């Protein structure tokens, strides 16, 4: 059991390491691959809706037409994403930018509120809020550059995480071998004659 866990952990670490390397070297290609994966997810949703529609028809429960309609919508979304990955990928930073911008505005309001009661926290909230509003606005205005930066950052994080996990696994295996060698003791038992 422990050996299977170690092999599994090492495999996941190697995958993270290689994926991180790919995301770091080719971030634009990585964005397209992520879009294709999202499109495949929508195809899977469409298939599940078709299966649900067939089951509902057999059981005489209403809603099979709605499930087929959802399946067509999901297939349409999947087709759009698969054939226009760059335009779909351009939407992601805009959505993230809006969330970051709103969060920054909330932090600015929090900083203004805290300014009277907790001056340090109020100032730090205000500064972080301004920074987030700037980053959110930049993300909205410059979507593709943000995509590439995010993919590269994600790649570096995966590369470091996978590499450190591999090193940790190897160190654990070496330490475990030393522990086993240290606890193995040969001894003989002699019966005493009473």
Is a pLDDT exceeding 60 seen at residue 1? no
pLDDT of 184? 62
Contact 32, 144 (CB under 8 A): no
User: Read out DSSP for 109-157?
Assistant: HHHHHHHHH-HHHHHHHHHHHHHHHHHHHHHHH-HHHHHHHHHHHHHHH
pLDDT top residue among 191 and 79: 79
Instruction: Residue 52: give the domain boundaries.
Output: 7-180
Q: State both tokens at 115.
A: 């300014």
pLDDT digits (tens, 9 = 90+) for 93-131: 777 778 888 888 888 887 787 777 666 666 777 888 888
Q: Global pTM?
A: 0.51
Per-residue confidence (pLDDT) for residue 146, from 0 to 100: 75
| pLDDT beyond 80 at 136 | yes
- Assess if residue 130 is contained within a domain: yes
What separation in angstroms does the CA of 165 have from each of 66, 151, 170, 175?
A: 47, 21, 9, 15
What contacts 163, CB < 8 A, 6 or more positions away?
13, 17, 20
Query: How far, in Å, CA of 128 to CA of 119, rounded?
Result: 14
How many domains does the structure of the chain reveal?
A: 1
Is 185 a member of any domain? no
- Among positive and negative, which fits the CA dihedral 142, 148, 151, 157? negative
Decide if 189 is inside a domain: no
Give 21's contacts (C-beta < 8 A, 6+ positions apart): 155, 159
Q: Is residue 193 part of a domain?
A: no
pLDDT tens string 147-174: 777 777 777 877 777 777 777 777 767 7
Per the listing, tokens 């057999």 go with: 58
In-domain check, residue 186: no
pLDDT of 186 above 70:
no
pLDDT tens digits, residue range 40-81? 889 998 888 888 888 777 766 566 778 888 889 999 999 998
Please report whether residue 190 resides in a domain.
no
Q: Find where tokens 């067509």 sit.
A: 72
CB 23 within 8 A of CB 30: yes
Is 136 among the domain residues? Answer: yes
Q: Is 176 helix (H, G, I), strand (E, B) or coil?
A: helix
């Amino acid at each position: 059991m422990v050996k299977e866990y170690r092999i599994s952990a090492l495999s996941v670490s190697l995958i993270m390491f290689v994926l991180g390397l790919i995301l770091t070297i080719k971030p634009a290609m990585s964005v397209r691959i992520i879009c294709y994966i999202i499109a495949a997810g929508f195809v899977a949703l469409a298939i599940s809706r078709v299966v649900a529609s067939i089951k509902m028809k057999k059981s005489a429960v209403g809603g099979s037409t709605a499930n087929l309609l959802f399946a067509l919508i999901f297939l349409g979304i999947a087709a759009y994403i698969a054939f226009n990955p760059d335009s779909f990928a351009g939407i992601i930073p805009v959505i993230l930018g809006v969330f970051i911008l709103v969060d920054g505005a909330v932090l600015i309001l929090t900083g203004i509120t805290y300014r009277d009661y907790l001056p340090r926290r109020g100032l730090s909230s205000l500064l972080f809020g301004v920074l987030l509003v700037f980053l959110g606005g930049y993300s909205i205005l410059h979507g593709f550059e943000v995509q590439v930066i995010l993919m590269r950052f994600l790649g570096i994080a995966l590369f470091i995480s996978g590499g450190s996990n591999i090193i940790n696994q190897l160190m654990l295996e070496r330490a475990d071998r030393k522990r086993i060698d240290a606890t193995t003791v040969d001894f003989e038992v002699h019966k005493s004659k009473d």
